[in-house]
Amino acid sequence: MSEKQQNNSQQPSATFDLQQIAKDVILTEIQAVSGILEFIDDRFEQTVKAISACNGHLIVSGIGKSAIIAQKLVATLNSTGTKATFLHAADAIHGDMGMISKEDMVLIISNSGESAEIKVLAPLVKELCQGLIALVGNAHCFLAQQSDYVLLTGPTQEACPHNLAPTSSTTAQLVLSDALAVCLMRLSDFKPSDFARLHPGGDLGKKLHLKVADLYINNANPSVHAQTELKSVIFEITKGRVGATAVLDQDNKVIGIVTDGDVRRMLERTDSLSGIQAQDISSKNPKTITPDMLAITAMEMIKKWDVGQLIVTSSDGQYLGFLHVHDLIREGIY
């Protein structure tokens, strides 16, 4: 057989409408998720309140694809104020149940609730913890019958063409576990400041922690007085390298700003530069920010007002320096 014939033999024999297949998958999973709504009832509320009242950890377990959903739930819970630990069902029945204490609750995620590992695990776990929770598709399955609390996703049609590969069922598990996590956040009054405390690293940490004080301090703080002549104003803007200079009164308080754009516009309007002072071309009431404000807030202000820099002042209006948009870009905030 020639190489060309071999390549042709490897091509699929049927032509598929891949766009329609993708749409059918999405619609099937949407149906699975919307079906959960009927199971958000008193049993769901009681489960959330029981977890919230638990003094220990929520141990979350599963097998196969459900174990991956369990890991994601644990990550979400720990980052939003609920103490949680992942325990793989296979590892649990081979010695790792030692991590469970009487103060803990255990949540086992399983679509069928009938797998061999789950049937071994559930009765043993129930004796070790404060309460056993099932997140399952069928209220009559073995796991649900063993559990003190049951969270239901309901029966789902898998998006897999053979109704075999976990697709819709794991999507439903993910959505229901997210609903559980958010409800626990609300019960614990979890605040943005708490979120920031638990996320100090990376870009997210910067957005939640980085303050104006951390950025402007590295910049020059160009300034002139109202009667400063134009030549000195231009020199101060150039020296400061932030594209502007603050205009101050005798008490070191900001009364205006001159940007390099203000200078260019002035040069377009006049041929004579004699006698021009800072007060003649400055913009009054410039946009200011205090050092204690978050860098993310500075970014929002710069976007809202479409400016390139903000003047940093103390709480009583004393001039401190400049925060430039480049400072935010450099830190990955903007």
Annotated binding residues for Zn(2+), as ranges?
88
What 3-state class would DSSP assign to 156? coil
Q: Rounded CA gap, 309 and 319, in Å? A: 14
Query: Kindly report the CA angle at 31 between 30 and 33, in degrees rounded to 5?
Result: 65
Q: How far is CA 237 from CA 224, 262, 327, in A?
A: 10, 11, 17
Q: How far is CA 11 from CA 3, 15, 16, 331, in A?
A: 13, 10, 12, 49
DSSP string, 197-237: HH--SHHHHHHHH-BHHHHHTTS---EEETT-BHHHHHHHH
Q: Rounded CA gap, 222 and 243, in Å? A: 10
Binding residues: 88
Pair 212, 291: CB distance under 8 Å: yes
Strand 244-248 relative to strand 283-284, pairing? unpaired
Output the six-digit token pair for 75. Answer: 């990550």
Q: Which residue carries 């807030």 as its tokens?
A: 297
Angle between helices 42-53 and 168-187 (to 10 degrees): 60
Number of Cβ atoms within 10 Å of the Cβ of 47: 23
Pair 257, 244: CB distance under 8 Å: yes
Q: Which residue carries 């209220």 as its tokens?
A: 139
User: 266-304: string of b/e by CB count within 10 Å (b at 16+)?
Assistant: beeeeeeeeebbbbebbeeebebbbbebbbbebbebbee
